[in-house]
């Protein structure tokens, strides 16, 4: 990565016992020589100090603004609730920092668009946490299809199952029962799936959809409080890809089982079956177990080549791996003074896709999707 000094990162939302900041961002950053973590913040100084001690971070704050404005922070990583993204991103951009904001960028398309406009006028680089863009499995499958390994693609189908949206929820997720909070099975699980599968087969140019809530109430596990639910927990999408292949996606929230997925890509010469590795993780996180089924009935395992994950050997498997690939892209973009990808403009494109799926469900009419 050259002789540039490491970029100094402050992670907002680094709760020690749970959360994406400590399970993905901090382990990824610890293994990347392009970065050094100089600060963490949470809502309580005790938890911030606990995380700082666990990861060897020099600065701990219970005030996000102090972290954002600190001179020893070059990059602000926003890993908190979606409802808090906008204020933190605005503050970081105003302070002249580079920004890594988790997905979704905003609670809706309008908020995301406004943040992208601010970022485009800022001096820093910015990325959004659609880490499926760098899924080694998705990129390998895209290469296989491009090389004609399955012939002409005819149909792509994906099913994803997750606990999000169930009838019993932890207190930390209670805010997401409100559709307006922007943290739904559609905006998070389905969007991550589409962003990841899109690296292999492209994005739909038109969609029809059913987006609905089967659970209209949810019980908070810790307190027994019963909350009304307006956020959807079931998403079914039908679409056409750019090459006219058909796309079908079903995201089934509220499941008691560990999240998992299956992706099937049918071609004229072969079919690719993709499932997660033994972790059973979500499609944008897991290593992919890929098998090619041939017309003669044979099944050929296709291990993902190591070249699709050019990372230090000590990057942990699972959630940190693809997040590390996004951070590495950010470091390269900063060094080259070029936009990073997926940046906030790309985030807006996915917010538009989510918006089109919502409209398709509400109107019962197929929607064209613009990039």
- Residue 309 belongs to some domain of the structure: no
- Residue 264 belongs to some domain of the structure: yes
What is the pLDDT at residue 119?
Answer: 98
Q: Are residues 240 and 99 in the same domain?
A: no
Per-residue pLDDT tens over the stretch 63-117: 999 999 999 999 999 999 999 999 999 999 999 999 999 999 999 999 999 999 9
- Residue 144 belongs to some domain of the structure: yes
Q: Are residues 236 and 321 in the same domain?
A: no
What is the pLDDT at residue 1?
Answer: 46
- Residue 95 belongs to some domain of the structure: yes
Q: Say if residue 164's pLDDT is above 80.
A: no
Q: Say if residue 57's pLDDT is above 70.
A: yes
Q: Say if residue 60's pLDDT is above 60.
A: yes
Question: Confidence class of residue 257 from pLDDT cuts 50, 70 and 90?
Answer: low
What is the pLDDT at residue 371?
Answer: 52
- Residue 306 belongs to some domain of the structure: no
Q: Say if residue 167's pLDDT is above 70.
A: yes
Give the residue, 3 or 99, on which the prediction is more confident. 99
What is the pLDDT at residue 162?
Answer: 72
- Residue 302 belongs to some domain of the structure: no
Average pLDDT taken over every residue of the chain: 94
Q: Range of 321's domain?
A: 7-130+316-345
What is the domain-level CATH number for residue 44? 3.40.50.720
What is the pLDDT at residue 70?
Answer: 98
Give the residue, 257 or 197, on which the prediction is more confident. 197
Q: Are residues 137 and 12 in the same domain?
A: no
Q: Are residues 103 and 228 in the same domain?
A: no
- Residue 303 belongs to some domain of the structure: no
Q: Are residues 192 and 266 in the same domain?
A: yes
Q: Say if residue 217's pLDDT is above 80.
A: yes
Q: Are residues 30 and 108 in the same domain?
A: yes
- Residue 305 belongs to some domain of the structure: no
Per-residue pLDDT tens over the stretch 320-351: 999 999 999 999 999 999 999 999 999 999 99
Q: Are residues 67 and 31 in the same domain?
A: yes
Backbone angles phi, psi at 49, to 5 degrees: -65, -35
Q: Are residues 14 and 45 in the same domain?
A: yes
Q: Are residues 328 and 281 in the same domain?
A: no
Q: Are residues 152 and 238 in the same domain?
A: yes
What is the domain-level CATH number for residue 359? 3.30.360.10
Q: How many domains does the chain have?
A: 2
Q: Say if residue 359's pLDDT is above 80.
A: yes
First to last CA, the chain: 32
Q: Are residues 170 and 201 in the same domain?
A: yes
Question: Confidence class of residue 252 from pLDDT cuts 50, 70 and 90?
Answer: very high
Contacts of 12 (CB under 8 A, 6+ apart): 21, 40, 41, 64, 67, 68, 76, 77, 78, 79, 80, 88
Q: Are residues 82 and 158 in the same domain?
A: no
Q: Average pLDDT, stretch 259-266?
A: 90
What is the pLDDT at residue 281?
Answer: 87
């Amino acid at each position: 990565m050259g002789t540039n000094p490491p970029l100094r990162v402050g992670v907002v939302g680094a709760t020690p016992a749970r959360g994406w900041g400590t399970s993905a961002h901090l382990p990824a950053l610890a293994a990347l020589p392009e970065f050094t973590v100089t600060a963490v913040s949470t809502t309580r100084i005790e938890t911030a100090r606990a995380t700082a001690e666990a990861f060897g971070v020099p600065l701990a704050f219970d005030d996000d603004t102090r972290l954002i404005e600190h001179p020893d922070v070059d990059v602000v990583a926003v890993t908190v609730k979606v409802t808090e993204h906008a204020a933190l991103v605005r503050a970081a951009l105003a302070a002249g920092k580079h920004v890594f904001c988790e997905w979704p960028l905003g609670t809706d398309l309008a908020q995301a668009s406004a943040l992208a406009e601010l970022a485009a006028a800022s001096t820093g680089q910015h990325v959004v946490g659609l880490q499926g863009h760098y899924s080694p499995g998705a990129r390998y499958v895209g290469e296989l299809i491009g090389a004609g390994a399955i012939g002409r693609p005819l149909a792509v189908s994906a099913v994803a199952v997750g606990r999000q949206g169930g009838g019993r929820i932890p207190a930390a997720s209670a805010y997401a029962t409100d559709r307006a909070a922007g943290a739904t099975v559609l905006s998070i699980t389905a969007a991550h799936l589409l962003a990841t599968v899109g690296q292999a087969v492209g994005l739909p140019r038109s969609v029809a959809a059913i987006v609905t809530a089967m659970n209209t109430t949810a019980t908070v596990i810790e307190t027994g409080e019963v909350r009304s639910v307006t956020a959807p927990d079931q998403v079914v999408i039908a679409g056409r890809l750019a090459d006219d292949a058909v796309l079908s996606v079903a995201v089934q929230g509220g499941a008691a089982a560990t999240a998992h997925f299956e992706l099937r890509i049918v071609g004229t010469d072969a079919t690719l079956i993709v499932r997660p590795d033994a972790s059973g993780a979500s499609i944008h996180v897991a290593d992919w177990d890929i098998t090619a089924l041939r017309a003669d009935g044979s099944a050929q395992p296709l291990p993902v080549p190591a070249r699709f994950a050019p990372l230090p050997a000590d990057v942990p498997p699972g959630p940190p791996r693809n997040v590390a690939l996004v951070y590495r892209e950010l470091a390269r973009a900063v060094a080259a003074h070029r936009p990073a990808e997926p940046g906030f403009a790309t985030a807006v494109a996915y917010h538009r896709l989510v918006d089109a799926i919502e409209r398709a469900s509400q109107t019962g009419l197929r929607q064209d999707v613009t990039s």
